[in-house]
């Protein structure tokens, strides 16, 4: 008889609100650019079901709340009936394997250009200051941004409503909840960060004012679908798309505390990317004050490996740990962590290509197969 594998912290059960998780390894939301014409495709059924385990939490890729929310090609939306119907079989496949599935909803704000906007209009933001041209993911193509249009104060409630309707649509599609994308330089993050937000109305200036719009989204979604089905992702330390804050610790702590008013299910925070020193992965543990301030489930992400993920749970620095690149390339990641098995190497060149198989559903399981 084979010896039993000792249970590691990442594989201990956890009660997240009304959801009973069998382990603490979360599929992070990962943009894959395989939703043609912004409509989720049947090949996503296999992709997500491959990464589903009984009682495991998956967070779907960033999903647009409206036709003004787009920039990356072939990313999914959830503002039309067609999109909602396309999501249903994908959600059903995850549920059929016992998974818990949340939909991350987003608006890119100024990270766009008129080519991705209805009527070729300027993208919207908290500001009218544009981004410098960026090198695309291929390292060759230049992603060109155009100056955004500063949202008028009286327009912001409409964007809040777009998020609210997207959450309602996610419930219709069968998702268990939604994660608000408040990270990585996109619209909500643009409002929060003082290096971007140059407003002088009630949505700019003070920390409280800069966080007003994201918290209005949290309130609207909590009222629409219930706070027990709402999470948010934040990255106070990140500077993606020239979006940074002069005091990220203060920003993160303020948001972690302010979220308690609404009683939402979880806060998903992104750590500054960890650095490998020799054989050890060292993280700054900068999220600990926010973890202590937030009353709900606390999810961390940001370059964790098996060892550091186990340490985060064992030391009570997090309830759950989200994995992106390693879950993308290892559909059976929780099992590999359980056995401390070798991991597949991921291929960055296939992260964002439109192929429905290559770099998407062809990463092998431990037994060598690539099917569920």
User: What distance in Å separates the CA atoms of residue 163 and residue 24, rounded to the nearest whole number?
Assistant: 28
Q: What distance in Å separates the CA atoms of residue 196 and residue 125, rounded to the nearest whole number?
A: 9
Residue 29, phi then psi, degrees to nearest 5: -70, 125
Rounded distance, CA 180 to CA 29, Å? 11
316 CB-near residues (< 8 Å, 6+ apart): none
Q: CB of 50 within 8 A of CB of 82?
A: no
H-assigned helices in the chain: 43-50, 81-96, 156-173, 187-192, 207-210, 212-225, 248-258, 288-293, 306-314, 325-329, 333-339
Hey, what's the torsion of the CAs at 272, 136, 106, 266, to 10 degrees? -20
Please choose, from the candidates 172, 211, 173, the residue with its C-alpha nearest in 3D space to the C-alpha of residue 219. 211
* Token pair in block for residue 150: 């500063």
Q: Which pair of structure tokens corresponds to residue 153?
A: 């104060």
Provide the token pair at 179.
């994660």
Q: Are 239 and 188 in contact (CB under 8 A)?
A: no
Exposed e or buried b per residue across 145-184, where buried means at least 16 C-beta atoms within 10 angstroms of its C-beta = bbebbbbeeeebeebbebbbbbbbbbbebbbbbbbbbbbb
- In terms of residues, how long is the chain? 372
Q: Does the annotation mark 360 as catalytic?
A: no
Catalytic residue among 48, 72, 186, 304: 186
Residues annotated as catalytic (active site), given as ranges: 186
């Amino acid at each position: 008889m084979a010896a039993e594998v000792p249970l590691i912290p990442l594989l201990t059960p956890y009660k997240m609100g009304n959801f009973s998780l069998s382990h603490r390894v979360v599929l992070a939301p990962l943009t894959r650019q395989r939703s043609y014409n912004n409509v989720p495709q049947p090949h996503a059924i296999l992709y997500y079901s491959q990464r589903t385990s009984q009682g495991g939490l998956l967070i779907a890729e960033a999903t647009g709340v409206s036709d003004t929310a787009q920039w990356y090609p072939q990313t999914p939306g959830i503002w039309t009936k067609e999109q909602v119907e396309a999501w249903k079989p994908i959600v059903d496949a995850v549920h059929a394997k016992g998974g818990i599935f949340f939909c991350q909803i987003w608006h890119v704000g100024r990270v766009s250009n008129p080519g991705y906007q209805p009527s070729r209009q300027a993208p919207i933001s908290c500001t009218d200051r544009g981004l410098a041209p960026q090198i695309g993911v291929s390292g060759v193509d230049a992603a060109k941004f155009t100056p955004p249009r500063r949202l008028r104060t009286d327009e912001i409630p409409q964007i809040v409503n777009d998020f609210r309707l997207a959450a309602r649509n996610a419930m219709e599609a069968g998702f268990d909840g939604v994660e608000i994308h408040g990270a990585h330089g996109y619209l909500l993050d643009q409002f929060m960060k003082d290096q971007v937000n140059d407003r002088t109305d009630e949505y700019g200036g003070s920390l409280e004012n800069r966080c007003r719009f994201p918290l209005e989204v949290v309130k609207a979604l909590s009222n629409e679908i219930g706070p027990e089905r709402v999470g948010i992702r934040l990255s106070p330390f990140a500077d993606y798309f020239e979006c940074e804050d002069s005091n990220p610790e203060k920003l993160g702590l303020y948001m972690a505390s302010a979220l308690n008013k609404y009683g939402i299910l979880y806060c998903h925070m992104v750590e500054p990317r960890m650095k490998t020193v020799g054989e050890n992965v060292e993280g700054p543990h900068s999220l600990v004050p926010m973890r202590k301030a937030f009353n709900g489930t606390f999810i961390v992400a940001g370059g964790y490996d098996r060892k550091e993920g186990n340490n985060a749970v064992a030391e009570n620095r997090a309830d759950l740990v989200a994995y992106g690149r390693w879950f993308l390339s290892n559909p059976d990641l929780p099992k590999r962590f359980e056995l401390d098995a070798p991991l597949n190497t991921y291929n960055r060149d296939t992260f964002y290509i439109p192929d429905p198989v290559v770099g998407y559903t062809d990463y092998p399981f431990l037994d060598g197969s690539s099917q569920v």
